[in-house]
Chains A and B, each alone.
Chain A
């Protein structure tokens, strides 16, 4: 299986991949806590970008409301843990199921009534927004005052099964999740299902004429994308230990999730990961660089978003397909950028 998986990667690509992986595995030994927290953020975005990419990049269905699935996962996992002491890994299954069900419902609504493209995207925003309002008023999970996970364990006491531990542990968890989804996506893209998704993305009517039940396959793409996003939500909840509806379900979160994929290359395997590696450190660096200004009393709230917006403009103008297809050629890995 692994052999087949590696076979299609050119030798030089395998070398780069191996070196990168070794560097990432060893990274926590050499970097300080701040750099590690940035790397955690990188993989947080890489993972979520990949999940979003399944729906948009593979099946061609635009979602601007992925914060919904993220939040449903985060709250489900956290609530089951706080109220019933359920393990976060089981909470992940529950959260994934809840998000997949929500995704199926929204997808069914949109696809049944032939709401496509931008209109479907608006529908996804609407659902994320009124779920935010629901959670703002749902006191069982803290309402707008926030929902908090008890901080136990602490440094040194890494408990992987309970997802309680140091940032280093979470770094490896996010890294593993990102690699896991990368392998999953690669398997999907070379499967019957993956080809059907690509056909739907390219031309729905032609796909249907070739016998593809487009409704069913689109729903499945939404469900899978939603479930994976929800897994990320649970990880986030246990890493962050606090959840506020206004932040969890916000449109900003939905947009942040897809920026990496757009910068890196929508529909490509590595795009969301590359995009996260470019955007997150740059955004953090900007914050650090502008700190002196803030000390002088010049407020620059939202400057990161402005910067991300500029990045998108640059990409759309100069490399519409994203950085990865371009990088792939520059690295001499030609032979079908995927």
Chain B
């Protein structure tokens, strides 16, 4: 099976069952959304895929390769890049050097990697700020920088953790357009955690919904927003 396959993964932190027997597929070239209320286990799921944590149970494979137990850098080398929900720029480095570090993963030559970095920054509308130190960026720009840096590693699968939070609707539309474009042009697979429903509805072909660490629904965006279980966890019982 190609793409990302998540089968029955669980993760417990002391008393808290953060993720419980979650399974889903992210087919190659797919655009998949992962949604759910706060504390649903979305970011933990990302961290399990990205190698920050090892699942207590279950298995994660990517293009047939087992990811369980790999370190984050090995997961990256396997072709999976991620962004951080709480952005982690290399604050004292310039915007360009931030992306350069990502590019150096795929392109060991510094001059060539720098060219790739500039090209990515241009596509994301950060080129004008490329000589600023990353610490001076605004939050939406830092989110963009997270995406740029991850793309620098030339991943096959991109994990986006709430990169559109805090963006204005027009900026959301630009980002959505951008992701759709790179998905179409380069065939990159995208799995995104997102609270901005405008983005999820426009972008995702398929949505997985988590609540209290468990998968409660999945389907097309239209199916999911009509699902009673999803409505209940988002809006409360009375609304159903």
A residues with a Cβ closer than 8 A to B are 190-192, 195-196, 198-199, 202-203, 205-214, 267
Indicate if B166 sits at the interface (CB-CB under 8 A): no
Considering the complex, which residues of chain B in the window 129-153 have a beta carbon less than 8 Å from any beta carbon of chain A? 149-150, 152-153
Which residues of chain A are within 8 angstroms of B97 by Cβ–Cβ distance?
195, 198
Q: What are 7 A-B contacts with C-beta separation under 8 Å?
A: A192-B113, A195-B104, A198-B93, A208-B73, A208-B76, A209-B50, A210-B81
Instruction: State whether A205 and B88 are in contact (beta carbons under 8 Å apart), knowing that A210-B149, A211-B76 are contacts in the complex.
Output: yes
Q: Which residue of A lies closest to B99 (CB)?
A: A210
Cβ contact within 8 Å between B153 and A210: yes
Cβ contact within 8 Å between B108 and A209: no
**Range class of the B interface residue count:** 20 to 34
Which residues of chain B are within 8 angstroms of A267 by Cβ–Cβ distance?
92
Contact of B84 among A195, A196, A198, A206 (CB under 8 A): A206
Cβ contact within 8 Å between B91 and A202: yes
Cβ contact within 8 Å between B101 and A199: yes
Cβ contact within 8 Å between B104 and A202: no
Considering the complex, which residues of chain B in the window 50-75 have a beta carbon less than 8 Å from any beta carbon of chain A? 50, 52, 71-73
Q: Which residue of B lies closest to A198 (CB)?
A: B93
Cβ contact within 8 Å between A202 and B110: no
Which residues of chain B are within 8 angstroms of A203 by Cβ–Cβ distance?
88-91
Max chain B Cβ within 10 angstroms of own Cβ: one of A198, A207, A210: A210
Task: Describe B's contact surface by its main secondary structure.
Answer: helix
Shortest CB-to-CB span from A214 to chain B, Å, is: 7
Cβ contact within 8 Å between A211 and B110: no
Instruction: State whether A211 and B71 are in contact (beta carbons under 8 Å apart), knowing that A195-B100, A202-B90 are contacts in the complex.
Output: no
CA distance A208 to B84 in the complex (A): 12
Which residues of chain A are within 8 angstroms of B235 by Cβ–Cβ distance?
none
Q: Which residue of B lies closest to A191 (CB)?
A: B110
Contact of A192 among B72, B73, B108 (CB under 8 A): B108
Which residues of chain B are within 8 angstroms of A214 by Cβ–Cβ distance?
73
Cβ contact within 8 Å between B92 and A202: yes
Q: Which 5 A-B pairs have the closest CB atoms?
A: A211-B76, A202-B90, A206-B88, A211-B105, A208-B72
Shortest CB-to-CB span from A198 to chain B, Å, is: 6
Indicate if B215 sits at the interface (CB-CB under 8 A): no
Indicate if B77 sits at the interface (CB-CB under 8 A): yes
Cβ contact within 8 Å between A210 and B102: yes
Cβ contact within 8 Å between B100 and A212: no
Q: Which residue of B lies closest to A217 (CB)?
A: B73
Which residues of chain B are within 8 angstroms of A208 by Cβ–Cβ distance?
71-73, 76
Considering the complex, which residues of chain B in the window 149-186 have a beta carbon less than 8 Å from any beta carbon of chain A? 149-150, 152-153
Contact of A209 among B84, B104, B110 (CB under 8 A): B84
Cβ contact within 8 Å between B77 and A211: yes
Instruction: State whether A192 and B82 are in contact (beta carbons under 8 Å apart), knowing that A205-B88, A211-B77 are contacts in the complex.
Output: no
Write out, one digit per residue, whether chain B residues 24-67 have a CB within 8 A of any chain A CB (1) or not (0). 00000000000000000000000000101000000000000000
Which residues of chain B are within 8 angstroms of A209 by Cβ–Cβ distance?
50, 72-73, 76, 81-82, 84, 150
Which residues of chain A are within 8 angstroms of B71 by Cβ–Cβ distance?
208, 213
CA distance A178 to B87 in the complex (A): 39
CA distance A203 to B84 in the complex (A): 12
Contact of A196 among B76, B91, B104 (CB under 8 A): B104
Shortest CB-to-CB span from B65 to chain A, Å, is: 15
Max chain A Cβ within 10 angstroms of own Cβ: one of B71, B77, B100, B101: B101
Cβ contact within 8 Å between A210 and B76: yes
Which residues of chain A are within 8 angstroms of B150 by Cβ–Cβ distance?
209-210
Cβ contact within 8 Å between A212 and B92: no
CA distance A82 to B104 in the complex (A): 47
CA distance A211 to B80 in the complex (A): 9
Which residues of chain A are within 8 angstroms of B101 by Cβ–Cβ distance?
195-196, 198-199, 207, 210, 212
CA distance A214 to B76 in the complex (A): 13
Which residues of chain B are within 8 angstroms of A196 by Cβ–Cβ distance?
101, 104
Q: Which residue of B lies closest to A202 (CB)?
A: B90
Which residues of chain B are within 8 angstroms of A191 by Cβ–Cβ distance?
110
Q: Which residue of A lies closest to B97 (CB)?
A: A195
Which residues of chain A are within 8 angstroms of B52 by Cβ–Cβ distance?
205
Shortest CB-to-CB span from B150 to chain A, Å, is: 8
Cβ contact within 8 Å between B105 and A210: yes
Q: Which residue of B lies closest to A207 (CB)?
A: B101
Cβ contact within 8 Å between B110 and A190: yes
Shortest CB-to-CB span from A222 to chain B, Å, is: 19
Shortest CB-to-CB span from A59 to chain B, Å, is: 13
Which residues of chain A are within 8 angstroms of B50 by Cβ–Cβ distance?
209
Q: Which residue of B lies closest to A190 (CB)?
A: B110
Instruction: State whether A202 and B93 are in contact (beta carbons under 8 Å apart), knowing that A210-B149, A210-B153 are contacts in the complex.
Output: yes
Shortest CB-to-CB span from B97 to chain A, Å, is: 7
